[in-house]
Amino acid sequence: MIKGKTVLVTGASRGIGRAIAVEFARLGYRVVINYRKRDGEARETLRLVEEAGGEGLLAKADVSDPVQVDGMFERVRESFGGVDILVNNAGWGFLSPIETMDDGLWERHIRVNLNSVFYCTRRALPYMISQGWGRIINITSIAGLRGLAYLSAYSAAKAGVIGFTLSIAQELRGTGVTVNAIAVGFAKTDMGLSFFRALNIDLEKFKKRYTLTGDLVDPADVAGLAIYLASDRARNITGSVILVDSGQMLAYDPTGLVGGGD
């Protein structure tokens, strides 16, 4: 199903989104690179997509705004006909204790991490259903499964993505469209590493104590799974939430006793 297929990756200017976009390009997909404001980084993603042999299209739009989402999908329709594979990757998190979190900060987390998934999915589905084939891959977080301190809004939004994934997968029964989520642990991205710096956490100690593999998630790990979920080999996988977290869910130890000490 690769020939002529188009994948739209939201938040693709860097990190996990960029890795996913480039990996699809290597396999010959047409790649729509969505981003909000990082023009230089988005152009670098486009360069890497084209270097990998794919055809790329930059799509600047704030996916937390339904009007901009509509405009983006119209541009994709004019260029490529429609979106066959949607990767809802755009995300944002900001550390804040609940007692000091204001309404604006809470609402931004919900708009960026959850509303964007709804807006993009709603626009992508008619085309997918009409052709009897489609893939929706939602990038969520282990924060949505267990919650993370000082990330209550982010955790709530990512849990919402999981619930949305499970619900939509049931609605799309028999349509040829599958819907799955990838729950990512702390990763080697700008956003992931910023949490360690903000909380003054020793990265090497964290990897030893709170992972099973001794390392953080690499964006390429997530990209590889996204490629598989988009393939026909994964046609019977839908409504799944798959962990890519270096074993962080199992290694998690609130007492700090696991891992052999310092």
Q: Which domains does the chain have, with CATH numbers?
A: 6-245 (3.40.50.720)
Contacts of 144 (CB under 8 A, 6+ apart): 155, 157, 158, 159, 160, 161, 162, 183
Is 50 exceeded by the pLDDT of residue 174? Answer: yes
Higher pLDDT, 115 or 199: 115
Is 80 exceeded by the pLDDT of residue 255? Answer: no
If pLDDT is split at 50, 70 and 90, which confidence band does 176 have? Answer: very high
Separate counts of helices (H) and strands (E) for the chain: 11, 7
Mean model confidence pLDDT for the chain: 93
- Predicted pLDDT of residue 198: 81
Is 70 exceeded by the pLDDT of residue 261? Answer: no
Q: Out of 150, 154, 210, 252, which one is annotated catalytic?
A: 154
| pLDDT tens profile 183-194 | 999 988 878 788
Is 50 exceeded by the pLDDT of residue 262? Answer: no
Is 70 exceeded by the pLDDT of residue 252? Answer: no
| pLDDT tens profile 72-85 | 999 999 999 999 99
- Predicted pLDDT of residue 47: 97
Instruction: Say whether 29 is catalytic.
Output: no
User: What is the number of residues in the chain?
Assistant: 262
**Are the C-beta atoms of 176 and 133 separated by less than 8 Å?**
yes
- Predicted pLDDT of residue 199: 79
Least confident range of 3-7, 159-163, 247-251 = 3-7
Q: Give the helix ranges, DSSP H, for 28-65.
A: 39-51
- Predicted pLDDT of residue 52: 96
**Are the C-beta atoms of 129 and 83 separated by less than 8 Å?**
no
- In this prediction, residues 48-63 reach a mean pLDDT of 97
> How is residue 17 written in tokens?
């989104």
Distance from C-alpha of 156 to C-alpha of 95, rounded to nearest angstrom: 13
Is 80 exceeded by the pLDDT of residue 142? Answer: yes
- Predicted pLDDT of residue 1: 46
**Are the C-beta atoms of 116 and 90 separated by less than 8 Å?**
yes
If pLDDT is split at 50, 70 and 90, which confidence band does 2 have? Answer: low
